[in-house]
Amino acid sequence: MSVVTGIGVALPRSVGQDVLWEQYFRRHFGDSALARRVFAGAGVRSRNSVVDPVAEDVSGWSTGERMARFAEEAPPLAVRALTNALADAGMAADELGLLTVVSCTGYGTPGLDIGLAAALDLPADTQRLVIGHMGCHAALPGLRSVSDFVAASGQPAALVCVELTSLHVQPPSKDPEQMVAHSLFSDAAAAVVVRPSGPGWAVVDVAAHTEADSRELMTWTVTDQGFRMGLSARVPEVFAASVRPAVEKLLARHGAEIGDVAGWAVHPGGPRILDTVQAALDLPAAALEPSRAVLAAHGNCSSATVLLVLRELSARPGELVVALAFGPGLTLYTVLLRGTA
């Protein structure tokens, strides 16, 4: 068995959505009425950012400059998140057999995995895995990797997601997709510790569903000026057709139905995505309140977000929880968890 026994989060400074709009993005988008409506309707009250865009306008920076800043800002957040997760799990860093690091917003070698190993004085034989550029759903295949390791080796493992989307503000544009992306995305680090046993969430099963014919609807492209998000308005429509069959298939393998699920950790990609999931699964409004609360307080923190939502749920022995996250591909990942004592 593999059990999530600890969750840790580290967040940079919080900035109000209205403040970001008035002090930076209003000018950035030429006081566009459309952009104003997009920001007001994003379901975001505040976001976290390593960059103050008023003091530092990164929209004209080269990709090299952005990666240099990632190398400066990401390691302290990663260390804090993992340290908090280890404390929550009640274990020491030198007990880890595997460290998996996820990010789609910054790269370098030696990278975050080496920096974490050095900062926490991990043993030289600690295994490391880096998962890059998968996007918002990457925490769940990352969780699969650490869970499989724990089940196979009997050793604890950790997953750390670090995303600094504020480093990828694009040059001024009238593109509605850029308005949507810049109204939602935020910075965060989140980590989980997985052990062979203990109180928390047992990882029961993991499944994926990819609509490869729709891969052009969500993109994350490396350009000379950072990474550029492509986000079609059709994304919720595509996921609407696949989310219920994917969840029902996952649950059916374990003799369960949607009504048997006590908690939902749904990646809040945006308010329309959450509305789509709620309607497709016929869930009461309260079921997605943790996801909407995370979106309001922190925005969309890419791969780290679903772990922030999971942290909002209570692990009660025997109860089922389903985690869902969406990303480029178009890809839907689902994880079935069961509370343990």
Pair (289, 320) in one structural domain: yes
Please give the pLDDT value at position 255: 98
Give Cα separations from 180 to 26, 80, 229, 251, 295 (angstroms).
13, 30, 10, 33, 14
Low-confidence ranges of the chain (pLDDT < 70): none
8 Å CB contact between 129 and 101: yes
Please give the pLDDT value at position 21: 98
Please give the pLDDT value at position 138: 98
Q: Which domain holds residue 272?
A: 200-340
**Over the stretch 57-96, which tens digit does the pLDDT of each residue have?**
999 999 999 999 999 999 999 999 999 999 999 999 999 9
Please give the pLDDT value at position 289: 98
Pair (25, 140) in one structural domain: yes
Number of Cβ atoms within 10 Å of the Cβ of 302:
33
Catalytically active residues are 136
Please state whether the peptide bond connecting residue 143 to the residue before it is cis, i.e. omega within 30 degrees of 0: no
Pair (226, 330) in one structural domain: yes
Please give the pLDDT value at position 269: 94
Number of domains comprising the chain: 2
Please give the pLDDT value at position 190: 98
Pair (227, 245) in one structural domain: yes
Pair (66, 177) in one structural domain: yes
Which amino acid belongs to residue 328? Answer: P
Please give the pLDDT value at position 49: 97
CATH of the domain at 183: 3.40.47.10
Please give the pLDDT value at position 175: 95
Q: Is the dihedral of CA 83, 84, 86, 87 positive or negative?
A: positive
Please give the pLDDT value at position 270: 95
Q: pTM, whole model, 2 decimals?
A: 0.96
Which amino acid belongs to residue 152? Answer: A
Please give the pLDDT value at position 252: 98
Give Cα separations from 238 to 63, 229, 233, 275 (angstroms).
31, 18, 10, 13
Please give the pLDDT value at position 104: 98
Pair (9, 64) in one structural domain: yes
Token duo for residue 327 = 């990303």
